[in-house]
Amino acid sequence: MANNAENPEVVEIKPQNKKVRQALADFIQAKADEKSAKERKATAEAILREALGTATVATVNGTKAFSLVSSSNTSFDGKELQDKFPVAYETCVRKTPYDYIRTA
């Protein structure tokens, strides 16, 4: 794989590089699978919640199959913290650079 002479930030993946081309195809398919799985999960969860009604536990043939579990998250309103306590915000805020693969 050689970088493009006109733009060194671009690399041309040649047709004979089957390993990278297959990895790209696998990556794209995996992303589609993830999206589909999230949609299936959301649909299934809605059905299960509806089946529970006001109960918190569901059984199948007398055996616990699933339950509704309550929890909580703790979070901070960054905008409010920045507005009301700018020094604390600047002291505590962390920006973490990262990169990821984005397909065309």
State how far the Cα of 26 lies from the Cα of 89, in Å rounded to an integer: 41
How much is the pLDDT for 8? Answer: 85
pLDDT in tens, 3-62: 666 788 999 999 999 999 999 999 999 999 999 999 999 999 999 999 999 999 999 999
pLDDT at 1: 64
Q: Which pLDDT does position 4 carry in this prediction?
A: 67
Q: How much is the pLDDT for 2?
A: 64
